[in-house]
Amino acid sequence: MGDYVASYHATMKTSGYCLPRLLSLKLASTFHYRPLLQAHLMPKSFIARSVFILCLALIVAAAAFIGMRYFDQPASNKQAKALIGGPFKLVDHTGKDVSEKDFLGQYMLIYFGYTYCPDVCPTSLTLMSEAMDIVEAKDPALAKLITPVFITVDPERDTVSAMKDYVENFYPTMVGLTGTTEQVSAAAKTYRVFYQKAETEDASEYLMDHSSITYLIGPDGLYSKHYGHGTGPDVMAASMLEILAK
Alpha-carbon gap, residue 167 to 187, rounded angstroms: 19
Which range touches Ni ion (CB under 5 A), out of 21-29, 65-73, 113-121, 128-136?
A: 113-121
Binding of Ni ion by 117 (CB under 5 A): yes
Binding of Ni ion by 120 (CB under 5 A): yes
Alpha-carbon gap, residue 35 to 212, rounded angstroms: 58
Compare residues 23 and 236 and give the one whose CB is closer to Ni ion. Answer: 236
Compare residues 92 and 154 and give the one whose CB is closer to Ni ion. Answer: 154
Rounded to a whole number of angstroms, the minimum distance from the CB of residue 245 to Ni ion is 31
Compare residues 121 and 188 and give the one whose CB is closer to Ni ion. Answer: 121
Binding of Ni ion by 213 (CB under 5 A): no
Compare residues 83 and 120 and give the one whose CB is closer to Ni ion. Answer: 120
234 phi, psi to nearest 5 deg: -60, -45
Contact present, 124 and 117 (Cβ < 8 Å)? no
Beta bridge partners of 214: 111, 227
Q: Which of residues 78-97 bind Ni ion (CB under 5 A)?
A: none
Which range touches Ni ion (CB under 5 A), out of 4-12, 89-97, 120-128, 221-229?
A: 120-128
Out of 121, 163, 193, 216, which residue is the one contacting Ni ion (CB under 5 A)?
Answer: 121
Size of the site for Ni ion (CB under 5 A): 4
Binding of Ni ion by 113 (CB under 5 A): yes
Alpha-carbon gap, residue 90 to 183, rounded angstroms: 6
Binding of Ni ion by 128 (CB under 5 A): no
Name, in order, each residue with C-beta under 8 angstroms of 126's C-beta and a sequence gap of 6 or more. Answer: 170
Compare residues 117 and 131 and give the one whose CB is closer to Ni ion. Answer: 117
Residue nearest to Ni ion as judged by C-beta position: 117
Rounded to a whole number of angstroms, the minimum distance from the CB of residue 81 to Ni ion is 26
CA-based R_g, the chain, Å: 25
One DSSP character per residue, 2-62 reads HHHHHHHHHHHHHHS--HHHHHHHHHHHHHT-HHHIIIII--SSHHHHHHHHHHHHHHHHH
Compare residues 120 and 222 and give the one whose CB is closer to Ni ion. Answer: 120
Beta bridge partners of 80: none
Given the rule CB under 5 A, which residues bind Ni ion?
113, 117, 120-121
